[in-house]
Amino acid sequence: MNKLNRYFNSIMSNQKEIKPAYRTENIKYAVRDIVVLANQAAKSGKEMLYLNIGDPNLFDFITPRHIIETTFKAMLENKNGYAPSSGITEAVKAVELEAEKKNIINVQDVFITTGASEAIDICLTALVNEGENILTPTPGYPLYTAVASKLRMMENPYYLDEKDNWQPDIDDIKSKINKNTRGIILINPNNPTGSLYKADTLQKIVELALEHNLIIFADEIYDKLLFDEKNHISIASLNKDVSCVTFGGLSKNYFVPGFRIGWGIVSGNYSILKNYIEAINKILRARLSANHPEQYAIKTALQEDQSHLIEAKKKLTLRRDITVKMLNSIPGISCVKPEGAFYAFPRLHMEQNDSHFVSELIKETGVVVVPGSGFGQIPGTQHFRVAFLPNEETLKKAYTSIGNFYLKYLEKFAGAAAIK
Ligand SMILES: Cc1ncc(COP(=O)(O)O)c(C=O)c1O
């Protein structure tokens, strides 16, 4: 052994396992975690039916051509350098106009981000100190709990009421506000339940926010995907003084989740918000900018032809109706009718835990859904989430399989009498 080899051998013995930070311990993203199981089942040659992912482009929803053309043109024009940290002027103005259309009053700042995901991360990071808390909807979108975990923020889940079409439970919210509560998150239309919030529910939340000096984080990423001629109400439109950050983006409404374009709209009273807005902008500057050429798609998407939405809502309404009808016809499953987005959150009336149910379902049938525990739920209740993006034939096949499987599952693991 030469001298150099001996030297390397001696320093290699100093190596120890690299320990990840504690803050990653509680980060879970059930929607993607389930894919590992699905891949194993797919390897065995089973036909797979994917109802787990909220990516419209994996199904028959195609990016409108004019949105691609604007982006391509920007790329050809060499708009490929960094953009301003808050976003290009044209995009910021388009989002301001969108806020006006949504009757959001007292807009104090608008910024463009790498998906709504980045806006959510930045806005919570700019607000919450270790040990403080934000009221987080349960069930809700797992990114919020992942960011909370990263910030070592205390979890403060509030429940959505399944008996009231998954509206936020106002009494539960009231009971959970404490001296360390800084804000409340609302996802409307909701992921994973597909519920749309009523004006009086929103009004009560505004009153609580004003009374307790909370910021409302309104995640409205699905606001154009509504069924049955329903209208969307932006909570920020209800009161000019309430502090609010409204999150939006192109991913879902315009079928470009891979563009990674989102935004935040800060509204309310400037004197109350000014330091917070500066904190957000410090982070925006430090991370340079969101994707540049894709920002040109914002004005085109928001202001030009919207006909893709008419088609999409037609398809989704049909798929929503099949989902609700077929799931409710299975003994021991109930499903509240979604009014927006493309998710349903059916309840399994059984004692077994839903993660076990879902892993057995994937192995036995190839139908991939996400366990309710991945989104949070009232302890003792069991659910799963479906994304009803696949075509009608696939959905019918999947729900027939779920029905047949559920009965066998209960017989095997609990006895059919176990249906609650
Ligand atoms: C409620 C909700 N908010 C935010 C996001 C992320 O959006 P974006 O693609 O703009 O980061 C999703 C994605 O599924 C979502 O469901």
CA-based nearest residue to 261, from 292, 234, 304, 225: 292
Total residues found in the chain within this entry: 420
Q: How far is the CA of 332 from the centre of ligand 1 (A)?
A: 31
Q: How far is the CA of 399 from the centre of ligand 1 (A)?
A: 26
Is the predicted pLDDT of residue 163 greater than 70, yes or no?
Answer: yes
Check: CB of residue 201 under 8 Å from CB of residue 168. yes
Percent share of the chain, pLDDT over 90: 83
Q: In this structure, which residue's CA is closest to atom 16 in ligand 1?
A: 191
| Residues 11-46: tens digit of each pLDDT | 877 788 888 888 877 777 777 678 888 998 899 888
Is the predicted pLDDT of residue 273 greater than 60, yes or no?
Answer: yes
> Ligand 1: does its nearest atom lie under 6 Å from the Cβ of 189?
no
> Average per-residue pLDDT in the chain?
94
- Give pairs for 88-95: CB < 8 Å, separation 24+: 88/112, 88/292, 88/295, 88/296, 90/295, 90/296, 90/298, 90/299, 91/263, 91/295, 91/296, 91/298, 91/299, 93/299, 94/298, 94/299, 94/302, 94/303, 95/248, 95/263, 95/265, 95/298, 95/302
Question: What pLDDT does residue 12 have?
Answer: 79
Q: Which residue type, as a one-letter code, is found at position 46?
A: K
CA separation for the pair 276, 274 (Å, rounded): 5
**Burial zone of 154 (CB within 10 Å; 0-12 exposed, 13-18 middle, 19+ buried):** middle
Q: What is the mean pLDDT of residues 390-418?
A: 88
**Residues contacting residue 251 through CB under 8 Å, at least 6 positions apart:** 115, 116, 221, 257, 259, 260, 261, 262
Q: How far is the CA of 409 from the centre of ligand 1 (A)?
A: 33
Check: CB of residue 238 under 8 Å from CB of residue 206. yes
Q: In this structure, which residue's CA is closest to atom 6 in ligand 1?
A: 117
Mutate to test the pocket of ligand 1, among 61, 221, 260, 295 (most ligand atoms within 8 A of CB): 221
| Residues 49-94: tens digit of each pLDDT | 999 999 999 999 999 999 999 999 999 999 999 999 999 999 999 9
Q: How far is the CA of 119 from the centre of ligand 1 (A)?
A: 10
Is the predicted pLDDT of residue 186 greater than 70, yes or no?
Answer: yes
CA separation for the pair 386, 368 (Å, rounded): 8
Question: What pLDDT does residue 391 have?
Answer: 97
Atom of ligand 1 nearest to the CA of 257: 9
Return phi, psi of residue 321, to 5°: -65, -40
**Residues contacting residue 87 through CB under 8 Å, at least 6 positions apart:** 95, 110, 111, 112, 263, 289, 290, 295
Is the pTM higher than 0.75? The answer reads yes
CA separation for the pair 400, 360 (Å, rounded): 16
Is the predicted pLDDT of residue 418 greater than 60, yes or no?
Answer: no
Question: What pLDDT does residue 155 have?
Answer: 78
> Ligand 1: does its nearest atom lie under 6 Å from the Cβ of 262?
yes
Question: What pLDDT does residue 54 have?
Answer: 93
- Which residue is listed with tokens 């909701």? 190
Is the predicted pLDDT of residue 419 greater than 70, yes or no?
Answer: no
Q: How far is the CA of 342 from the centre of ligand 1 (A)?
A: 12
CA separation for the pair 96, 107 (Å, rounded): 8
